[in-house]
Structure 1
Amino acid sequence: MPNSSRHASGSSHDLSNRNLITRLQRWWVPALGEFIGTAMFLYLAVGGADAVSRGASEGTAVLGIAFAFGMGLMVTAWAFGRISGAQFNPAITLSCLITGKLSVGMAFLYLICQLLGGTLGVAMARGNTPSNVSVGGINQLDNGETLARGFFLEFWLTSILCFVYLMTTEERSKCIFMAALPIGFTLFSCHLFALRYDNAAINPARAFATSVVSKDFTPDHWIYWIGPLCGGILAAALYILFCYFDPDIVGVVDKDQYRAENAAASGETVKIDVDDANKNDMGSSTRSQIAPSRDETYRRA
């Protein structure tokens, strides 16, 4: 009897440990990854952007800063993609919340981690450089950019970044293993466009962090929040629209129909199983689940 009690107690202890680990994996581990990842991203990006632009001509500086941000996002996203999804951006988090990739609680936790992590990264970049070097310039309108144009610049560019993120990290995407590459190049392209006009935030966490560290919140700071967040909403709407029509299924059926019709004799009935087509062409049981089990019958003339 005592032996069975000890055994039952040990089993209960193991079960509670497993439950604790599961909760950590679902909530705190991804949140920690988002915090550290955002800090690393902005530490590399902001510090690198300041270093490559110092003493350079305007065109060279723009290219160097864009490269620093694109490369910084690319390498950190590749590292943290499997841990937290490597969002590092409240606008992307909002897009993932709307599309059902994140719960409300996790999205809020990610937002806090991104703001704190971004501030830490910019502060570390400032602390690791001489005091006479101004690292992490704040986001503000420049070169005659008006408030309305600055808002829509942040809006459109962030919507492009969020849409690329959603499509390349979609579980049915064949390029999900290298999603960090197009995401990084997208941020690179966005910076090439926006740097001369509003210092290219395209990320509320980045704008917030540089303003906090510099202790300078400009009157137009709000556009670096509202613009990107509205862009995230637009990107989520486009993603939902395209997923509604599910082009992956159509492409697979058409492809298998074409193959079968070419192999069939004239007048022969061709029968295609959509589930098999999904398994063969998409290589994933998850993808096959998105198509209902049905047969498609075609007749070659």
Structure 2
Amino acid sequence: MPNSSSHNLSKRKVVSELQRWWVPALGEFIGTAMFLYLAVGGADAVSRAAPEGTAVLGVAFAFGMGLMVTAWAFGRISGAQFNPAITLSCLITGKLSVGKACMYFICQLLGGSLGVAMARGTTPDNAHIVGINHLKNGESLARGFFLEFWLTSILCFVYLMTTEERSNCSFMAPLPIGFTLFSCHLFAVRYDNAAINPARAFATSLVARDFTRDHWIYWIGPLCGGILAAALYILFCYFDFDIVDAANKAQHRAETAAAPGETVKVDVIDANKNDIGSSTRSQIAPSRSEAYRRA
């Protein structure tokens, strides 16, 4: 008698090529809308009539929690990128095709605009809720650009390392990603209202019908940050960071178990097998690094 899993598999229909495209696209559209609806609306609610320090903390919490919960919901559907800078990083690292990256980009802009418009339309006194990104508190154009650049590169790198590596803790990826966005907002809200996401900057400006003269830095800065994050990820993959980490752990275990005065040396391949304990993982890692070397 076949088990329940094989019975369920036999009932599954064949997934068409079109379905493989529109289902993730729909997830990215709805997910971005939900994320910005919660984040922008929540940030407005907690920052009204609050002292500046409390307002910054509330805005950071709204964006971090908004991303965390929606990423957990949509991670298995579309990858829960919700950010053109993250999509660009995934495109450069080979995690997305050009066609799917363009599709995600459009869905993020449309979904973000819908989410911000819904936040504005479902609250009273809605002139304040749009929260457009602009430089303030003496922040210069150059400083604002690099602020968006560095913070977005950190966010994109955390995304790549916690989702694309597909480790045993990948299901927990929304937690560090959400906390990263929380930390970025703590830093940047006071100076440029913390976009760190071109879709967020575009959506709030579109709904408010107010594109400031410095709006371009909220596109170029984050996208350049996404490129830097992808470069760092490729660099560490080129040097087989996971195998090096496994070798260091195995070397430490061997030194701990060795007799006093005994010299031990663990081979990198043995370390990879002993520490990870999976022939599949030991095959994937070298082939990935070789692919970057050939490229």
Q: TM-score, normalised by structure 2?
A: 0.85
Answering whether residue 73 of structure 2 is matched by residue 79 of structure 1, we say yes
Say which of 263, 269, 273 aligns to 1:274. 269
Count residues in correspondence. Answer: 275
Residues 1:223 and 2:238 aligned together = no
Output the CA distance in 2 between the equivalents of 1:124 and 1:115.
14
User: Distance between the aligned counterparts of 2:263 and 2:183, measured in 1?
Assistant: 52
- The TM-score, its normalising length taken from structure 1, stands at 0.83
**Distance in 1 of aligned mates of 2:112 and 2:266:** 55
Q: Mind listing any 5+ residue stretches in structure 1 that lack a counterpart?
A: 1-16, 294-301
Deviation (angstroms), 1:176: 1.4
Shift of 1:273: 8.8
Give the AA of the match of 1:167: M
Quick one: distance in 1 between partners of 2:211 and 2:263? Answer: 72
Tell me if the contact between 2:120 and 2:129 (Cα under 8 Å) persists in the aligned partners.
Answer: yes
Give the alignment of 1:255-270 within 5 angstroms.
255-257=249-251, 259=253
Cα root mean square deviation, aligned? 2.6
Are residues 1:288 and 2:282 paired? yes
CA distance in 2, matches of 1:180, 1:81: 8
Write the distance in 2 (CA, Å) between the matches of 1:113 and 1:143: 33
Asked whether the 8 Å contact 1:256–1:272 carries over to 2, the reply is no
Mapped contact 2:82–2:108 kept (Cα < 8 A): yes
Q: In the alignment, residue 220 of structure 2 is paired with which amino acid?
A: I
How far residue 175 of structure 1 moved from its aligned partner, in angstroms, is 2.8
Instruction: Give distance in 2, aligned partners of 1:226 and 1:271.
Output: 46
Aligned to 1:3: none
Could you tell me which amino acid in structure 1 is paired with residue 65 of structure 2?
M
**Structure 1 residues 262 and 113: alpha-carbon distance in aligned structure 2, compared to 1, 3 A threshold:** same
1:136 is paired with a residue of what secondary structure? coil
Q: What amino acid is the match of 1:233?
A: I
List alignment gaps of at least 5 residues for structure 2. Answer: 1-12, 288-295
CA distance in 2, matches of 1:222, 1:62: 23
Equivalent residue, structure 2, for 1:194: 188
Distance of 1:190 and 1:165 partners within structure 2: 14
Higher CA-based Rg: 1
Q: Which residue of 2 aligns with 1:7?
A: none
- Counterparts of 2:84 and 2:128 in 1: how far apart (Å)? 25
Query: How far does the alpha carbon of each residue in 1:88-145 deviate from its partner, in whole angstroms, 9 at most, with x for none?
Result: 0000000000011111000000000000000000000011011455212111111111
Q: Distance in 1 between matches of 2:64 and 2:263?
A: 54
- State whether structure 2 residue 187 is matched by structure 1 residue 175: no
Contact map agreement 1:167 1:173 (CA 8 A) in 2: no
What is the Cα deviation at residue 23 of structure 1? 1.5
- Give the AA of the match of 2:90: C
Amino acid at match of 2:213: P
Deviation of 1:290 (Å): 2.8
How far, CA to CA, are the matches of 1:268 and 1:137 in structure 2? Answer: 62
